[in-house]
Amino acid sequence: MNLENPSQLERQEGHHLSDEDVVSRVRAGERGLFEIIMRRYNQRIYRAVRAITGNDGEAEDVMQDAYVRAYTHLDQFAGRSSFATWLTRIAVHEALARRRRGERFVDLDDVMPTLAFSGHGPEQRANDRELGAALQQAIDDLPPAFRTVFVLRDAEGLSTAETAESLGIPAETVKTRLHRARSLLRHRLWSRAGHVAGGVFEFGAGRCDRVVAAVLARIGAR
């Protein structure tokens, strides 16, 4: 199999394979099928790491590192949780490690920040795109721990249990952080923009292809 360029047939076949089937075949030597995993979860992984890093370019770097780490440790996937959760946890850990190298986390119990908004007064009649941009900015202004929980729960649609397992925190902590995140957002945006939450931090085709190509190149060089 050509690692850098899986066939269209292989991509089509991947739509009918479970994560576990893909992983099993990658372990057996069909390494190019790892592209199926990346394309299947690029949106979720991007949103998760983007919520932590707060930076588009850095999020892509973290994604590449996370995918390579996951690929090289596929033998450690034991099936105790879903593959998607296992992969998300790897990405979250990579993003948190990257962020810790850059700055210390603020103690969330000691500080409740005030969101700053500019150019989005109540008189503005925004369309859905403008609302989405305003919401994305507001989410970016949340503390990282709140932002990550909010994105995984409300934007990506993970359950409380899935979010807790992905982040390695108790379910009650997820509920508390989500409540606080929503409270910070609601007074300015949530009542108007909640219906477009699923559209924030979109991982477009260009980014998808770029990350997939970079990861496949790194895997192929190993």
CB 49 within 8 Å of CB 95: yes
Q: What is the signed CA dihedral for 106, 181, 158, 100, rounded to 10 degrees?
A: -10
User: What pLDDT does 207 receive?
Assistant: 83
d(CA 26, CA 87): 15
Lowest average pLDDT, out of 110-119, 140-149, 193-202, goes to: 110-119
Confidence of residue 197 (pLDDT cuts 50, 70, 90): low
Closest CA to 148 of 126, 127, 177, 176: 177
Convert 136-168 to b/e letters by CB count within 10 Å (16 or more is b): bbbbbbbbbbbbbbbbbbbbbebebebbbbbbe
Record the pTM. Answer: 0.67
Asked: is 128-199 a CATH 1.20.1630.10 domain? The reply is: no
pLDDT digits (tens, 9 = 90+) for 90-101: 999 999 888 877
CATH number, domain 8-103+203-220, options 1.10.132.20, 3.50.50.60, 1.10.1740.10, 3.40.50.12500 = 1.10.1740.10
pLDDT of residue 162: 92
Q: Which tens digit of pLDDT belongs to each residue from 62-88?
A: 999 999 999 999 988 888 889 999 999
Asked if 164 and 170 touch (Cβ cutoff 8 Å), the reply is yes
**pLDDT tens digits for 17-44?**
899 999 999 999 999 999 999 999 999 9
